[in-house]
Amino acid sequence: MGRDEQPFSTASDRPDCRRCKHFAVSWYPREPYLCKLLGFRSLALPCLEVMRCDGRPCTGFQPKPVNTEPAKPKRAGGIVDVRS
């Protein structure tokens, strides 16, 4: 495959790491992205690294579970005056 050829027709054809349950952010500034399934950190998104190294889209993508519980109400912050 040549440098100018696209390995996939659109960006929607490839998995989105940010929506994968194996994606995480690492503590290493030089390698901020982490794939827990494949066990590596990288500067680019892991799905792009897999495509660069293997030439195929990542096959380990699994969507994050959807939270079906209603959001909890936020507590009011600040100082409460108990003198009254």
> Contact at 8 Å (CB) between 32 and 40?
no
pTM of the model: 0.62
Domain ranges in the chain are 12-54
Kindly state the DSSP code that residue 14 receives in the 8-state scheme: S
**Residue from 34, 29, 38 nearest 18 by CA:** 34
Phi, psi of 13 (to 5 degrees): -75, -25
Cα Rg, the chain, nearest whole Å = 20
Residue with tokens 């990542």: 58
pLDDT score of 69: 81
Q: Which helix (H) or strand (E) holds 25?
A: strand 23-25
Residue-wise pLDDT for 41-82, tens only, equals 999 999 999 999 999 999 999 999 888 887 777 776 666 666
